[in-house]
Amino acid sequence: MLINNKSSMDPTNVDSMGTKRRSSSRTIKRRKFDDELVETTFNLQPPTSSGKSNSRSRTVSVSTSSLDVSPQTPLIPSLPPTSTVTQPDRINRRHSRPSGSNGPGRKSKKNKNHAHSINATKDLGRWKPTDDLGLITGVQQTNDLRMVHRGTKFSCRFTLQEIQQRWYALLYDSAVSRVAVQAMRNLHPELIASVQARTLYSKAEEDLLGTIKSSPPPNLEVFQKLLESNAQTFYPARTAKSLMAHWQLMKQYHLLPDQTVLPLPRTDTTLSFSDAEDLINDGELMDQKDEIIDAELAMADRKNKKEIRVLENELSRWQVLVDSVTGGHAPDFDNQTLAILRGRLVRYLMRSREITVGRTTKDHSVDVDLSLEGPAWKISRRQGTIRLRNNGDFFISSEGKRPIFVDSRPILAGNKMKLNNNSVIEIAGLRFIFLINQELISVIRQEAVKLNLNP
């Protein structure tokens, strides 16, 4: 491979392999890896009169995979006298490097470091620093990964195999352990204390707790003395309250040495739950009948049924009936309904010439209970009265503390206003539409006119 002056000074930038070289106009170029390309940098312009070469140079890159280099053939041939080689020490070092320390060795080392970095960041999404801290403290206490898997509560569900792999990575993988230790150091002290408070109890700690008798129940001072006398055995995060809670748990499951476990009866046939249930006589479980209580219950039942019959008989004589609103269509008036006060949920049928409007309580009752429509705690018990005059006009009078709005006009207490068909009545946030039975009112007006003509 020869490079002459003509090819190096050619403006088309064609190298000795016959391929066109692409060069960038940037002053800073990306460095090539040693195992990918062999670089030779030449000064393509002749030196100036001052003897200094041009600071801007070009790079000729030749792939080693496309060349068959023999030991006798030098990689960099002799150059023409007019060309000067820049960075000669770097080129000499590359060609004087032994074969064992060339590109493939460095590539494998790089791949190894890259694999370590991948392993270090692979499990960062699932394994939180609190999980690593709980795993380390749990293994230090029990020396058993199976026990840690059963008794430690991690941030997510890990299998036993995943816990083993994480523990081996913390032990033998320096990159993983370095990242995990740094993350655990950045935890808040309160978070570290909460994780350490849930650390599993070791066998030695449970043996010391077993020295406390199950009866009589010990107090907190007993556990405080036990903690102070055996501070080297208990985990540093233990407190007297936590020891007492674990002791009570051991007592609940009969794990204390002084607790006697009753042996189960050994029989040839073991009954199942359903078989034992069949053997129970239901007649023995029934309470004895009390004639006095039965008589009182029967009397209360007759009284309630009598009240229901009375209410059913009085239903036809009620002045106002409440009917559920079933749709947006116009209501059907009957011969007894003078007007309808229609809300969003219910509608009130006016069947007498005068009705009271308000809120029903235990001590006071009104004809139209507005609490059926919505929240009526701001409405007075007697808010107003709707009356029908002989001439067929409806008037509403305000009698409560808060005013009544009719078509957005307020009516203060003691005043009254005429109601027209489709008038909007607003009382403490509840809106109603007043609908008049025009046919029935017209009949009433005709009768009133006849009475006036024939006094």
Q: What is the pLDDT of residue 171?
A: 92
The contacts of residue 377 (CB under 8 Å, 6+ apart) are 359
For residue 421 the two structure tokens come to: 């068909």
pLDDT value at position 367?
A: 87
Structure tokens, 186: 């950045």
Q: Are the C-beta atoms of residues 189 and 133 closer than 8 Å to each other?
A: no
Which has the higher per-residue pLDDT, 180 or 67?
Answer: 180
Amino acid 280: pLDDT: 79
Question: Do 163 and 149 contact (CB within 8 A), yes or no?
Answer: yes
81: pLDDT strictly greater than 60: no
pTM for this model (two decimals): 0.35
Over pLDDT 90: what percentage of the chain? 34
What is the arithmetic mean of pLDDT over 218-242? Answer: 92
- Average pLDDT of span 205-232: 90
Tokens encoding 192: 């570290």
Q: What's the pLDDT tens digit per position in 108-133? A: 555 555 554 454 445 556 899 999 99
Q: Is the pLDDT of residue 395 over 90?
A: yes
Amino acid (1-letter code) at residue 204: A
On average, the pLDDT of the chain sits at: 75
pLDDT band at 322 (very low <50, low <70, confident <90, very high): low
Q: Flag the least confident range among 86-95, 242-251, 331-340, 442-451.
A: 86-95
Q: Does the pLDDT at position 59 exceed 50? A: no
State the angle between helix axes of 174-185 and 160-172 in degrees (0 to 180), rounded to the nearest 10.
Answer: 100
| Residue 49 pLDDT greater than 50, yes or no | no
Higher pLDDT, 352 or 74: 352
C-beta atoms surrounding 142 within 10 Å: 19
Mean pLDDT of 438-452: 82
Statement: residue 276 has pLDDT above 70 = yes
Mean pLDDT over 290-309 rounds to 90
Report the pLDDT averaged over residues 292-299: 90
Residue 409 pLDDT exceeds 70: yes
Strand order in the sheet with 354-358: 368-369, 354-358, 382-388, 394-398, 416-419
Peptide bond between residue 216 and the one before it cis (omega within 30 degrees of 0): yes
Q: Which residue has the tokens 């392993």?
A: 119
What is the average pLDDT across 304-321? 75
pLDDT at 184: 92
What number of other Cβ atoms are within 10 A of residue 2's Cβ?
9
Residue 450 buriedness (CB in 10 A; 0-12 / 13-18 / 19+): exposed
